[in-house]
Structure 1
């Protein structure tokens, strides 16, 4: 990644100014209490006037929003946020699953660097020496740091889901910003569950909306996709409530709002995969008077950029990080973005990727594994997983994703193949791009000290873990009244009945 272009707010030291301003004491008084913000605008450093920061984090969200041009889904509140600020079209997570991605953007470092790469890491360790978090840095700067749903009457911490040792009671100062002392600036992380599965049940059909072409266009696919869109509309209403609260409390003009998803959408070949569906997230920044309304940026940006951007806006110290300050007017994004996927539940894996504006390179460290290896979570939650298996068995659907093995390398030209369906790794016409991105991943693994190279079984009883996951999977099926030994055809029938049942009142 490119280096940080703007890292720290410049503070003026009155002792160095005094000799030159003996005739202007009042000017000295003014300067002594001021700082220069990241956009070059002088503002007071008093606690009452310092900027507040609110992160609104949706769980499992792709860019299927009105402001991103997606039809039929109704997202007026998120659209308003984009209308009043800056929308990024090329924003990406560093991992396609929640705990790993959240570990990264809370520390500002890749999850593979800090040992948080396996989803819900079993061998959780303290953060390595020298690694801090965005919450710690904001606390040091005098901010009240909280984590909730954005409701003033919250009593419990919202989802944090981090793959290192920490105590929520010290990681956060409270649940809601209403708990801060009078005049104290706050950094609020607002966690919204939607559109994480289980989805809400749609109350109408989303006819003719575009779905990714690597799915079978089938009533079950469209019903599941419709529930996803309905869940996004629930998310939008919750975002609207947070924005209204900021308005009602008179905080809007002095608050930087950052809205994003923790990783991509919760669907087959998306969540838990390094394709665009698993990594591409919406990202919107609103800061009245500092970020112009209706801005759209095509820069390649990362969720790792949230920490340096937040710290710089707050005037907090910014450690050395791989991310960039998105408020720096001279930044033009990253040249290359890297991402990683490791074990997710009972699906052992190691995959790395590098993405430029035009190409995506993926390295499969376990080419012997099928893409559709068993995952208890996905089998329980993704009806299209079962649909694809059944249609493939019937000879009615085929895709490289159904293969028994994977290629060791994948390369996609995103300009002509945005859905990453045509692997060009063996095409000699793309040898230059392949070699360049292969080398960039090699260098990134060394430069960032990728911990995925170590065998997890050295510290974790993998047999016990797999038995635990199997028990959970079988118990979950029995709760649905299903035999764990049911066939794919039988499970598909259950999904059909579930998805097309009338929504419960």
Structure 2
């Protein structure tokens, strides 16, 4: 029933023929897409006191975006956004793809590997997939498949480097999807030695505690393991970038580093608050100067950016994002003043649809199923930090009560200039009605433009897809 084409009138439409464009050097334009797993805005270059020298160096060589946001804070839906340029409510990846959750793209959705492979690119996925169906992601090679959260960053670097060397004169699109710093069965995978990695240990008593978490011993211990995993990730990225340089292809390769969603702690992952959406984005493009850019950008912009760089035509249906190539090497773009977010599920039993719009000054969240309790992701619920928090209902998540976290109103509005932690809900405050109404209308316009199946009043949520 649900396998419909993307947009009305698009049934049977195929992507336009594409031709690969060469860089100014006369060589092909390659793409290396690096995705970390459950990483918040936590790198040395973003101000978190942890050791991430190679990613910090990459940031110094490229454009580091300070206001970059995922369009959803959940793994499979976010990876689907990255690879399609469409919000989750557009592309059909409403929740997690693996196991019993079994969410997948709607029929007719084009992805980066399908578009680029058809254009003559050698395409490979190294590491985590968590997106489907397989027919929509026709990677030429899938290397180092996820094995219960593989953490061997050297194996991943070597596999990616070998594939790059094997492409010869063909342009390549390689996605390296790490498991770090996602939770592992034991301590983020820090319980064993990994080849080529010198562990960076963090003293729980001295770690940085994000504002959305309470300062408890169990939370500090949990964060210490998370930060250690991030330092291992950084080592792996360094290995890969060294191999890219040795291949002689670095000067023709667009390198993008980002995370799929926020850190795996309450208040971040699966949430549309800042800790769940505000994430690292570093883009190093040959020919672009280094810069720190404060434009508000979205993961819906990643696919258009890669297609623009590669000179490959997008699908015939409109994408929700736009290329970042024009803003690379620049300090910002005033026209990019808002981002949107869309969430349906995480795990299949965790239905909690939300929509949100964020500007530089305000955050507005619409909780479409607000009578329900807010669900806590399984890996977060089983974590030492959440177990310590939930043991006493009086313990607050930062300054937010557990009751407020678990039982949310229909609308939330926050003044980010005065309340960056999104604690004081102004949605019912008459003094802020004008701002609320403006953002409410702006969000509704986005939902109409993207044909949101959750729009109120639809008796058939798929009627817009053209049966």
TM-score with structure 1 setting the length: 0.73
2:28 alignment partner in structure 1: 50
In 2, the alpha carbon distance for the partners of 1:440 and 1:274 equals 17
Aligned pairs for 1:32-181 within 5 A: 42-44=24-26, 49-71=27-49, 73-120=50-97, 122=101, 124=103, 127-129=106-108, 131-148=109-126, 158-162=127-131, 164-167=132-135, 170-173=138-141, 175=143, 176=160, 177-178=163-164, 180-181=166-167
In 2, the alpha carbon distance for the partners of 1:112 and 1:58 equals 23
- The answer to which of 422-431 and 78-87 deviates more is 422-431
Confirm or deny: 8 A CA contact 1:214 1:421 kept in the other structure.
Answer: no
1:301 alignment partner in structure 2: 297
Q: CA deviation at 1:190?
A: 0.7
- Distance 1:246-1:378 versus aligned 2 partners, 3 A rule: same
In 1, the alpha carbon distance for the partners of 2:236 and 2:21 equals 35
In 2, the alpha carbon distance for the partners of 1:297 and 1:165 equals 35
Confirm or deny: 8 A CA contact 1:144 1:180 kept in the other structure.
Answer: no
Q: Which has the higher helix share?
A: 1
1:358 alignment partner in structure 2: 361
Q: How many residues align?
A: 403
Confirm or deny: 8 A CA contact 2:97 2:104 kept in the other structure.
Answer: no
- Distance 1:325-1:81 versus aligned 2 partners, 3 A rule: same
Please point out which of 204, 216, 219 is paired with 2:217: 219
In 2, the alpha carbon distance for the partners of 1:125 and 1:213 equals 34
Confirm or deny: 8 A CA contact 2:213 2:398 kept in the other structure.
Answer: no
Q: Unaligned regions of 5+ residues in structure 1, if any?
A: 1-7, 12-33, 149-157, 460-505
- Distance 1:437-1:396 versus aligned 2 partners, 3 A rule: closer
Confirm or deny: 8 A CA contact 1:212 1:419 kept in the other structure.
Answer: no
- Distance 1:274-1:134 versus aligned 2 partners, 3 A rule: same
Q: CA deviation at 1:83?
A: 0.9
1:439 alignment partner in structure 2: 441
In 2, the alpha carbon distance for the partners of 1:390 and 1:181 equals 54
Aligned pairs for 1:232-243 within 5 A: 232-243=230-241
SS in 2 for 1:190: strand
Please point out which of 337, 340, 343 is paired with 2:339: 337
Confirm or deny: 8 A CA contact 1:360 1:413 kept in the other structure.
Answer: yes
Higher-Rg member (1/2):
1
Q: Unaligned regions of 5+ residues in structure 2, if any?
A: 1-15, 144-159, 191-199, 462-467
Aligned pairs for 1:392-431 within 5 A: 392=393, 399-403=400-404, 405-431=407-433
Q: CA deviation at 1:165?
A: 2.3
Q: CA deviation at 1:206?
A: 4.7
SS in 1 for 2:391: helix
2:178 alignment partner in structure 1: 192
SS in 1 for 2:79: helix
In 2, the alpha carbon distance for the partners of 1:67 and 1:352 equals 30
TM-score with structure 2 setting the length: 0.79
Q: CA deviation at 1:395?
A: 9.8
